[in-house]
Amino acid sequence: MGCAQTLLAGLLCLLSAGVFAQAQTPVGIADQRARSVTDTVLGILSYARWPVEPAQLRLCVVGPTEYTDDLLKGTTQATGRPVTVQRLLADNPAITTDCDALYIGKLTDTERNRLFTSLTGRPVLSISESDDQCTVGSLFCLRVSDDQVSFEVNLDSVARSGVRIHPSVLQLSRRKTAAP
């Protein structure tokens, strides 16, 4: 009886360790999307140049978002420049002074119009997460799918932003998604 109990206890330990390992190993699709969005946003930011380069890049997240869990932790660009991330309300006046870049989630048309009106004449790079047509305000509009994160560029907004974007990034936006 003692040997059977020991064997059973050992078997249970092995099985529970296997179940625990399996639960931690696969990364959920939401986590993968969040990491992919973070990589894409950091990539876009690394190819942007401001009239006066900030030593520490200040990224502000505005509105409800789906993919910013990883981004909100703050990070460092490949160049070594730190990126601080903070969440602000769309009508917060600090957006015009405390943000070098904006990550924009879902906003009403009124909130969006007010936000972009407040940014007129200021060198702020804006990236929109919501599924819009990339025609109003934002410099970049993300397209998030299970397989990849791509983006569109609003060339009119880029030209008016005061932020220079490397031509390589503009070329990437023209790349079509691979057929399944």
Lowest mean pLDDT among 55-59, 126-130, 143-147, 174-178: 174-178
Mean pLDDT of the chain: 81
Asked if the structure places residue 38 within a domain, the reply is yes
Asked if the structure places residue 59 within a domain, the reply is yes
Domain that holds residue 130: 29-174
Q: What is the pLDDT of residue 173?
A: 67
CATH number at residue 78: 3.40.50
Q: Is the pLDDT of residue 56 over 80?
A: yes
* pLDDT per position as a tens digit, 102-133: 999 999 999 999 999 999 999 999 999 976 67
Asked if the structure places residue 166 within a domain, the reply is yes
Asked if the structure places residue 4 within a domain, the reply is no
The model carries a pTM of: 0.79
Asked if the structure places residue 14 within a domain, the reply is no
Lowest mean pLDDT among 4-8, 145-149, 170-174: 4-8
Asked if the structure places residue 1 within a domain, the reply is no
Strand order in the sheet with 140-144: 75-76, 82-88, 57-62, 101-104, 125-128, 140-144, 149-153
Asked if the structure places residue 19 within a domain, the reply is no
Q: Is the pLDDT of residue 145 over 80?
A: yes
Asked if the structure places residue 119 within a domain, the reply is yes
The domain total for the chain is 1
> Average pLDDT in the 3-9 region?
39
What percentage of the chain exceeds 70 in pLDDT?
79
Lowest mean pLDDT among 61-65, 86-90, 96-100, 174-178: 174-178
> In this structure, what DSSP letter does residue 53 have?
-
Q: What is the pLDDT of residue 18?
A: 43
Q: What is the pLDDT of residue 79?
A: 80
- Considering 26-35, 69-78, 115-124, the range whose residues carry the highest mean pLDDT is 115-124
- Specify which residues 102 forms β-bridges with: 60, 126
CB burial of 127-140 (b: ≥16 within 10 Å; e: otherwise) equals bbbbebebeebbbb
